[in-house]
Amino acid sequence: MSQLSDFVLKHSVRGSCECGQCIDAPETSVQPTGHTADVYNFQVAAKDNPDPETLKKLIQEHKGVFCNVDPLDGEDHGYIELGEWIGDQGLALQLMGLGTLLGLWELLTPKTMCPGLPKDLMDMMAGKGLIEVKKTA
Ligand SMILES: [Zn+2]
């Protein structure tokens, strides 16, 4: 397992944040920002204070499994591409969520891009790969 995968597994969990401010909030209410990222298929929360600079460094050093990608180059990168890069689609989504929480990039999903669409249409878009990250600054 790569150091990057290791970092993602150690510093993020699937599900809502359990800091205490979030746990009792109903799902429909506004949660504190930066606690939980919605990568469409599931939610991602950070764990044990991950350092954004360390994550950036591991991303830059990571050697792709099936392809080489630089998720920090300012282009759109979907979970299918990042899955081939990190070796697992679920882990790619978890990385995308964690990087969003740490301010590395912006998360683009059918929910953020086309809110209000019927759920089956959103599911279809997500299935085609429209869950992406894009570094903005
Ligand atoms: Zn929280």
**Residue 19 confidence (pLDDT):** 82
**Residue 136 confidence (pLDDT):** 85
Q: Which of 14, 12, 43 is nearest to 111 (CA)?
A: 43
With a cut of 70, say whether residue 82 has pLDDT above it.
yes
Measured in Å, residue 48 CA sits from the centre of ligand 1 at 12
Q: Which two tokens stand for residue 95?
A: 């990385």
**Residue 117 confidence (pLDDT):** 95
With a cut of 80, say whether residue 31 has pLDDT above it.
no
Q: Which of 100, 99, 106, 109 is nearest to 130 (CA)?
A: 109
Measured in Å, residue 99 CA sits from the centre of ligand 1 at 16
Measured in Å, residue 69 CA sits from the centre of ligand 1 at 31
Average pLDDT, stretch 63-70?
A: 95
**Residue 25 confidence (pLDDT):** 63
SS3 for 137?
coil
pTM: 0.92
